[in-house]
Structure 1
Amino acid sequence: MPSTQPSLLIAGCGDVGSRLGEQLAAAGWRVYGLRRRVAALPPSIRPVAGDLEAPQCPPDWPAGAIDYLVYCATPSQHDEAGYRAAYLDGLRHVLGWLGQHGQRPRRLLFVSSTGVYGQKQGEWIDERSPTEPAGFSGRVLLEAERLALDSDVPASAVRLSGIYGPGREWLLNQVRRGCRVPGEPSAYGNRIHRDDAAGLLAFLLRADARGERLDDCYLGVDDEPAPLHEVVDWLRERLGVNTEAAEAFSRRAGSKRCSNARARALGWAPVYPSYRKGYAALLGEERTRP
């Protein structure tokens, strides 16, 4: 008998995409992962070797229906050309490949970033807040969101904040080197643990599959935006770091507090609701590694 569980294609199936795919494959979904190096995919995800930035359709493109598409590309170069190739050209290619095969997913989730907001005064931000990014990355992501929303596939943009977790330990490494952040002016940052980022995407897909109505945008953040100096001081204490680096701590400009109220109203809740919970778990995992 044919499977009644949905099929999912994850285009740009990296760290977060693989965690998402594993969750849904364990629930019986048929999951395909498209990436250049498919050897890195977990065994439960069916490999589709291909380059999002190339116009040629991957030779092992899935046959049959694709019920859901998650587009979560990562630029191969971090300049405007790289962002346009990954987010705009890549999305156009995938939408075109779907059309070539007569496939129309029930929904597309486009993984975006809270970097589309340019607020700098610690304002609270939600999905209705003005998007006025100062840099090319936010502007390109907004263009790609619009491309997704204007396609003939029902779509939602999921704007994730700073993702941390296993293998994403830039801040921890900065703190280990002795970096500090001045308390004034206070600059708010927003985070989400890698597992919660994948969990939110899985939650939205399952909600759609149940017939729930999704909005066209969700913010993927934890419950507690926090000043960066507070996060760094907490990590210094947990790590026992007493030295101070001579170099200045480098960070992106901006200060805003992002709300996850819309996703929570749908029933989602982060496993790691604060940086304290998330980093405590991460540091505990490090201590138990062989």
Structure 2
Amino acid sequence: MKKNILFIGYGDLGSRLASIGQDDLVITGISRSLKPTIIPDQYHSLDWFKNSAQKVNLLKNYDCLVITLTPTSFDEAGYEKGYEEGMKLISNLVKNTSFKKSLLISSTRVYKDSEEPITELSNVNSEDFRAKSLLESEAIYSKGINSLQKTIFRFSGLYDPEMKDKILYKQVDEFQNKLIPISANLNRLSRDQAARIIMNFCINKTDLLLLNVSEPTVLAQERFKMLFPEKNFDDFFRIDNPGKQLDISNLLKSKLLDG
């Protein structure tokens, strides 16, 4: 039997989920932006900042809720509005709806850069306004959603599969005698893989509450050497921070990577 999914913030990830989940999911999508490339089974266009009182015809119960948020701008005010105010408005939007389980997509940006492996219990970066807004949205979600199980996935940087090493290729191909700063550790996640993980969460039983979701961390210098064995990394890039070495052991032990 297909699972009924409510996806708030339906966009690129929602479209990818709809593409691979046709046999398993019935998706209702709500989005602030223009219509996505792949329309779900039901679609509602709603800017919750401008039309928070607008009624949306929802079921009383869903198998799963998925929420993705974005900043309205990339300054502090944009993060506060996009994540903190946005999460409050979404909580109000679904206050009369119950869910068997729910999923908030957050980010590994909440952690401090570290040369040590970062687990779900590692120290967060309370001094960064982006991290603070993300963490506040997680707290609002945990308190405000009527769900039997509430899970948070902290995604690393998302990329389109065909653009995985764009920054490396672009710097080498279009080099203008200027070194580009880069993190020592690179943490990334394919958008296709992210959608597959979300689908597996929606379909399968799991007791995970907080999870780092990323591909294995790679060293920028090693990746460069693999792509350009005859070139010197230091001629194109300079390491300006350690980045994050993510511990994804809990992800690897789960069934979320199946399929």
**Alpha-carbon distance, 1:177 to partner:** 2.5
1:66 aligns with 2:62: yes
Determine the C-alpha separation between the residues in 1 that align with 2:61 and 2:220: 45
- Unaligned residue ranges in structure 2 (runs of 5+): none
Determine the C-alpha separation between the residues in 2 that align with 1:37 and 1:252: 35
Determine the C-alpha separation between the residues in 2 that align with 1:251 and 1:113: 22
1:176-199: CA deviations, max 9, x gaps?
A: 43376689xx81121111111111
User: What secondary structure does 1:150 align onto?
Assistant: helix
Instruction: Tell me which amino acid in the other structure corresponds to 2:224.
Output: V
CA, structure 1 residues 57+203, in 2 after alignment: closer, same or farther (shift >3 Å)?
farther
**Alpha-carbon distance, 1:236 to partner:** 4.2
CA, structure 1 residues 136+204, in 2 after alignment: closer, same or farther (shift >3 Å)?
same
* Matched residue count: 253
Report the counterpart of residue 250 of structure 2 in structure 1. Answer: 262
CA, structure 1 residues 167+97, in 2 after alignment: closer, same or farther (shift >3 Å)?
farther
CA RMSD in angstroms comes to 3.1
Determine the C-alpha separation between the residues in 2 that align with 1:227 and 1:52: 40
Determine the C-alpha separation between the residues in 1 that align with 2:234 and 2:245: 28
Q: Pick from 197, 201, 204: which aligns with 1:204? A: 201
**Alpha-carbon distance, 1:98 to partner:** 1.1
Determine the C-alpha separation between the residues in 2 that align with 1:167 and 1:76: 27
CA contact (8 A) 1:175 1:235 kept: no
Instruction: Tell me which amino acid in the other structure corresponds to 1:114.
Output: T
What is the TM-score with the length of structure 1 in the denominator? 0.75
CA contact (8 A) 2:126 2:132 kept: yes
CA contact (8 A) 2:12 2:36 kept: no
Normalized per residue, which structure has more strand?
Answer: 2
The 5 Å alignment of 1:1-290 reads: 4-24=1-21, 26-54=22-50, 56-99=52-95, 102-120=96-114, 122-151=115-144, 152-153=146-147, 154-166=149-161, 171=167, 172-178=169-175, 187-207=184-204, 212-222=205-215, 224-236=216-228, 253-269=241-257
Determine the C-alpha separation between the residues in 2 that align with 1:214 and 1:41: 32
Normalized per residue, which structure has more helix?
Answer: 1
What is the TM-score with the length of structure 2 in the denominator? 0.83
User: What secondary structure does 2:15 align onto?
Assistant: helix
Instruction: Tell me which amino acid in the other structure corresponds to 2:223.
Output: V
User: What secondary structure does 2:125 align onto?
Assistant: coil
1:62-111: CA deviations, max 9, x gaps?
A: 34433321111222311111112111211211111112xx2111222111
Determine the C-alpha separation between the residues in 2 that align with 1:49 and 1:204: 25
Report the counterpart of residue 282 of structure 1 in structure 2. Answer: none
Instruction: Tell me which amino acid in the other structure corresponds to 2:154.
Output: R
**Alpha-carbon distance, 1:249 to partner:** 5.2
CA contact (8 A) 1:87 1:140 kept: yes
CA contact (8 A) 2:106 2:154 kept: yes
Determine the C-alpha separation between the residues in 2 that align with 1:72 and 1:188: 25
**Alpha-carbon distance, 1:145 to partner:** 1.0
Determine the C-alpha separation between the residues in 1 that align with 2:53 and 2:225: 49
**Alpha-carbon distance, 1:38 to partner:** 4.4
**Alpha-carbon distance, 1:215 to partner:** 2.1
